[in-house]
Structure 1
Amino acid sequence: MTLTTLPILTLAITGLSVLIGLGFIRMFYVAQWLSPTDQIAADRPRIDVIVPARNEQDDIEHAIRSILAQRDVDLQITVINDHSTDQTGPILDAIAEHDSRVTVTYNDPPLLDGWFGKANAMQHAYQSTNRPYVIFADADVIHSPRCFTTAVQHMQQQQCDFLSLFPYVQLVSFWENVIVPHLMVFGLVTFLNPKLDDPDSPHAVAAGAFMLTRRDVLDAINGLSTVRNEALDDVMLARNIKAHGFKTSIALAPQLLTVRLFKNNRDAFWGFSKNILGAVSHIAFAFPAMIVPVVVYWIPIVVFLIGVYRHDGVWIACGLSAYMVQAAILVLASRLAQMRPLKSLAFPLSAIPIGCCFARAIYHHFVSDGVVWRGRVIRRSTN
Structure 2
Amino acid sequence: MIGPRFATENRDVALTIWPILTLAITALCILIGLGFIRTFYVVQWLSPTEHAASNRPRIDVIVPARNEQDDIGDAIRSILAQQDVDAQITVINDHSTDQTGAIADSIAENDPRVRVLHDPPLADGWFGKANAMQHAYRSTNRHYVVFADADVIHSPRCFITALQHMQAKPCDFLSLFPNVQLVSFWENAIVPHLMVFGLVTFLNSKLDDPDSPHAVAAGAFMLTHRDVLDTIGGLSSVRNEALDDVMLARNVKAQGFKTCIALAPQLLSVRLFKNNRDAFWGFSKNILGAVSHIAFAFPAMLVPIVVYWIPITVLLIGLYRHNPIWIASGLSAYVAQAAILVLASRLAQMHPIKALAFPLSAIPIGCCFARAIYHHVVSDGVVWRGRVIRRGTE
TM-score > 0.5 by shorter chain: yes
Note the C-alpha offset of 1:43: 1.6
For each residue in 1:299-343, what CA deviation from the matched residue of structure 2 results, as whole angstroms up to 9, or x when unmatched? 000000110111100100000000001001100100100000000
Q: For the residues of structure 2 that align with 1:382 and 1:223, how far apart are their CA atoms?
A: 18
Higher alpha-carbon deviation: 40-49 or 294-303: 40-49
Distance 2:92 2:102 in 1: 13
> 1:3 offset after TM fit, Å?
4.6
What is the total number of aligned residue pairs between the two structures?
382
Whether the 8 Å contact between 2:42 and 2:203 is mirrored in structure 1 is no
Q: Which moved more, 1:167-176 or 1:303-312?
A: 303-312
What is the percentage of aligned positions where both structures have the same residue? 83
The answer on 1:138 being equivalent to 2:129 is no
Note the aligned Cα RMSD (angstroms): 0.8
Q: Does 1:284 align with 2:320?
A: no
* Larger Rg over CA atoms: 2
Partner in structure 2 of residue 85 of structure 1: 97
1:159 to partner: Cα distance: 1.3
CA contact (8 A) 2:88 2:114 kept: yes
Q: How does 1:57-96 map to 2 (within 5 A)?
A: 57-96=69-108
Q: Residue in 2 aligned with 1:15?
A: 27
Deviations 1:146-198 (A, max 9, x none): 10000001000011000000000000000000000000000000100210000
Equivalent runs, 1:237-256 vs 2, <5 Å: 237-256=248-267
Task: Find the aligned partners of 2:185 and 2:331 in 1 and give their Cα distance.
Answer: 23
Report the CA distance between 1:382 and its aligned residue: 3.9
**Secondary structure at 1:250's aligned position in 2?**
strand
Q: Could you tell me which amino acid in structure 1 is paired with residue 156 of structure 2?
A: P
Aligned residue number for residue 104 of structure 1? 116
Q: Which residue of 2 aligns with 1:119?
A: 130
- Alignment correspondent of 1:379: 390
The answer to whether 1:317 aligns with 2:312 is: no
State the one-letter code of the partner of 2:56.
R
1:178 aligned to 2:189? yes
* 1:119-146 C-alpha deviation (Å, 9 max, x unpaired): 0000011100000000000000000001
- Matching residue of 1:36: 48
Which ranges in structure 1 are unaligned for 5 or more consecutive residues? none
Q: Quick check: 1:257 aligned with 2:268?
A: yes
What is the match of residue 337 of structure 1? 348
The residue aligned with 2:363 is 352
Moved over 4 A (4+): none
C-alpha distance in structure 2 between counterparts of 1:381 and 1:245, whole Å: 29
SS at match of 1:203: coil
TM-score scaled by length of structure 1: 0.99
Unmatched runs of 5 consecutive residues or more in structure 2: 1-12
Kept in 1, the 8 Å contact 2:42–2:204? The answer is no
**CA distance in 2: counterparts of 1:118 and 1:112, whole angstroms:** 11
Q: How high is the TM-score relative to the length of structure 2? A: 0.96
In the TM superposition, residue 30 of structure 1 has moved relative to its aligned partner by 2.1
Distance (whole Å) between structure 2 residues aligned to residue 46 and residue 97 of structure 1: 21
- 1:351 is matched by which residue type in structure 2? A
SS at match of 1:295: helix
Rounded Cα–Cα distance in structure 2 between residues aligned with 1:78 and 1:218: 17
Which residue among 239, 244, 255 is the counterpart of 1:228? 239
What do residues 334-353 of structure 1 show as CA deviations (whole Å, max 9, x unaligned)?
01000000000000000000
